[in-house]
Amino acid sequence: MFTQKMIVNAMKVDPKANLEVELRKRIDFIKNMLENTGMKHLVLGISGGVDSLTAGRLCQLAVNELNYEVGVGHEFIAVRLPYGNQLDEDDAQTAIKVIEPTRVVKVDIAAAVIAAEQDVIEALNASGINANNPEKNDFVKGNIKARTRMVIQYTIANQVNGLVVGTDHSAEATMGFYTKFGDGACDLAPLFGLNKRQVRGLAKMLGAPEQLYGKPATADLEELAPQALDEDRLGVTYDELDDFLEGKTVNENTAMRIKNQYVLTEHKRAPIPTPA
């Protein structure tokens, strides 16, 4: 079993972090990634949540600085990837205004997701595998949405010779709260090493309105539970999780829940297993 100290060390959250220092550190990290790879474009899906807003604004600040320092041509492409009509579309548009991206690209993922879901269900049923459980199908469809969004982001990145940016921070990473090879796939993760409250703090510092930096987090992937809160899915609050990652004492049941989830989702954080 992993101890709290082991998880804290792995997630690299500094409880005494100076957000101004963290801001500079992460902008420089993004700039270095572009310069070291020879790429000039960054691609990120913007959902309307605080994580993508924060990562997106960091990206735009990084390309702005590079354009000033080494020459024009660096761009941040903000990608809107709704599944039909998004319930919090207004928040997504507000996030875009805060980020001020070089470009905005919109791709509706609904047709691709529905086609993949229906084709697989039909193929499985035809093979004798029962794929007609509504709850299971809804969960699987949520993962299809996340992976379709990542396919589109990488398609755009391929077209422009760019890098796909992830929004994963240490609170989500601890719980494995992302889709494997979906929103967990990226070329760089500039928010790692921060917990949720630190991400919210950066968002506020970057000019986000309270409606966004204080917005309750939701993945909004499953249609049988629209706008379901992350905290309900996690079984712990972000405040509890953040306290744990800062090395503070938390309720014994909460600590055990976090440790157990860390073990169960280790496969998401680990390299792909290979023979010895």
pLDDT of res. 122: 98
Q: What is the mean pLDDT of residues 11-39?
A: 98
Return the percentage of the chain with pLDDT > 70, whole number: 100
Q: How far is CA 131 from CA 113, 120, 211, 222, in A?
A: 16, 9, 40, 17
User: pTM (2 decimals)?
Assistant: 0.95
Task: Please give the annotated binding residues for Mg(2+), written as ranges.
Answer: 51, 172
Which of the four pLDDT bands, split at 50, 70 and 90, describes residue 222? confident
Task: Compute how many other C-beta atoms are within 10 angstroms of the C-beta atom of residue 241.
Answer: 27
Tell me which long-range contacts 20-29 makes (C-beta under 8 A, separation of at least 24).
20/205, 22/194, 22/198, 22/202, 23/58, 23/202, 23/205, 23/206, 26/58, 26/190, 26/191, 27/58, 27/61, 27/62, 27/65, 29/188, 29/190
pLDDT of res. 87: 84
Which of the four pLDDT bands, split at 50, 70 and 90, describes residue 9? very high
Residue 32 above 80 pLDDT? Answer: yes
pLDDT of res. 98: 98
Q: What is the mean pLDDT of residues 73-97?
A: 95
* Candidates 51, 222, 230, 242; catalytic one: 51
* Candidates 75, 88, 91, 172; catalytic one: 172
Which of the four pLDDT bands, split at 50, 70 and 90, describes residue 88? confident
Which of the four pLDDT bands, split at 50, 70 and 90, describes residue 218? confident
Quick check: is 268 in a domain? Answer: no
CA 123, distance to chain mean position in Å, is: 31
pLDDT of res. 219: 77
82 Cβ contact partners less than 8 Å away, ≥ 6 residues apart: 89, 92, 106, 108, 109, 110
Quick check: is 121 in a domain? Answer: yes
pLDDT of res. 225: 76
Domains identified in the chain, total number = 1
Q: What is the pLDDT of residues 44-55, one digit of tens each?
A: 999 999 999 999
Residue 220 above 80 pLDDT? Answer: no
Q: What is the pLDDT of residues 240-266, one digit of tens each?
A: 999 999 999 999 999 999 999 999 999
Quick check: is 244 in a domain? Answer: no
Which of the four pLDDT bands, split at 50, 70 and 90, describes residue 6? very high
Q: What is the mean pLDDT of residues 33-44?
A: 98
Domain range enclosing 133: 15-236
Examine the residue annotation and report whether 51 is marked as an active-site residue of this protein.
yes
Residue 42 above 80 pLDDT? Answer: yes
Q: What is the CATH number of the domain that holds 104?
A: 3.40.50.620
Q: What is the pLDDT of residues 226-239, one digit of tens each?
A: 777 888 888 999 99
Q: What is the pLDDT of residues 123-134, one digit of tens each?
A: 999 999 999 999
Examine the residue annotation and report whether 22 is marked as an active-site residue of this protein.
no
Task: Please give the annotated binding residues, written as ranges.
Answer: 45-52, 147, 167, 172, 180, 187, 196, 218, 267-268
Distance (Å, whole) CA 75 – CA 148: 23
DSSP tag of 165: B
Quick check: is 253 in a domain? Answer: no
Tell me how long the chain is.
Answer: 276
CB 152 within 8 A of CB 109: yes
Helix (H, G, I), strand (E, B) or coil at 259: helix
Q: What is the mean pLDDT of the chain?
A: 96
Is the torsion defined by CA of 151, 157, 161, 166 positive or negative? negative
